Structure 1
């Protein structure tokens, strides 16, 4: 599984996208399931006024034969002007990196970097979701992006403390065909152009069961 994270700046705030299929195609990523590791991140060219924020851009290749659970850590930071969402453990901006990994055990605590001066964790939007890739065929990755008129907030998890903003991310034997997003809160609305669900078919690659046997 190759999880691409593309972060863009318009000079005022950052926008994080991890999906390859949002309606806002110039910002789409290369996230995919493959039998080979992606060695270079793939990001759309964006649109006028936006540029890639390269310190926060990366691809993380997660080998599904080395573990049962995708432990997806989401770390959201604030500088009191806007929010920045990171789900990867290997961006060049290491103080903001997460604990996202593949393991035979689910992670029970989120792992987030300490950030840098002027930034702090926005704990209401921070969580880890452990997804059992051996139990179902599809990883349905829901991305919900919200706007308050000043900046955007990206969430991909279904279990943050900030429940009105939670998503429908899950594993299932069926593809999700519609994105599931919480209603947000007063002053926030869904930014539909950047919101989508990506269903990744886990069947083509070999998984291992908890005992380590091929299945």
Structure 2
């Protein structure tokens, strides 16, 4: 399972994208299931006004035979002006590393890096979700993006304490056809152009 995290910059503002599906084509990633490990992140060229922020771009390959649970850790950081979401644990984004892993046991507490200077952990939106890969054929990853009018915030998990931003990320025997997203909290609205769902086939030999 190859998870790709693509981070884009517009001035000092950062936007995170983890999925590869329409309608967010300019920000597509290479997230996939494969018999081989991806060694480099695959990221779309972005839309006008945005450029790839290579310092925080990452790929993490997780071996499904090494555990039953996909433990997704979502670490959200605040600069005081806007929020930055990180889900992967790999260089070069070491200060923002997360505990995302595959294990035989579910993780009960989120693990987040200390962040770089000028950033602090935003605990209200930081979360961990343990997905039982034996519970169904498809890993349905939901990406919900919200706009404050000036900034975008990305959420991929469905767990407290970030209830207003919950997503439908799950493991099931059926593919999810549409993204499921919470309504957002006061001052935030769903940014449908970048909302997406991607279903990864976990069956042996599936591409």
Matched, 1:170 2:170: yes
The answer on whether the counterparts of 2:24 and 2:194 sit within 8 Å (CA) in structure 1 is yes
**What are the residue-to-residue correspondences of 1:1-215 with 2, within 5 Å?**
1-205=1-205
Question: Partners of 2:152 and 2:91 in 1: how far apart?
Answer: 20
Q: Which whole-Å deviations, capped at 9, do the CAs of 1:95-135 have from their partners, x for residues lacking one?
A: 11000001000011100001122111100110110001122
Question: Partners of 1:205 and 1:74 in 2: how far apart?
Answer: 29
Tell me how far 1:150 sits from its aligned partner. 1.3
Tell me how far 1:205 sits from its aligned partner. 4.2
Superposition TM-score, scaled by structure 1 size: 0.93
Runs of 4+ in 1 over 6 A off after TM superposition: none
Q: Which whole-Å deviations, capped at 9, do the CAs of 1:2-22 have from their partners, x for residues lacking one?
A: 000000001141110000004
Unaligned runs of 5+ in 1: 207-215
Is the alpha carbon distance of 1:160 and 1:22 closer, same or farther for their aligned partners in structure 2, counting shifts above 3 Å?
A: farther
Tell me how far 1:178 sits from its aligned partner. 1.2
Question: Partners of 2:77 and 2:145 in 1: how far apart?
Answer: 15
**C-alpha RMSD of the superposition:** 1.1
Tell me how far 1:72 sits from its aligned partner. 0.3
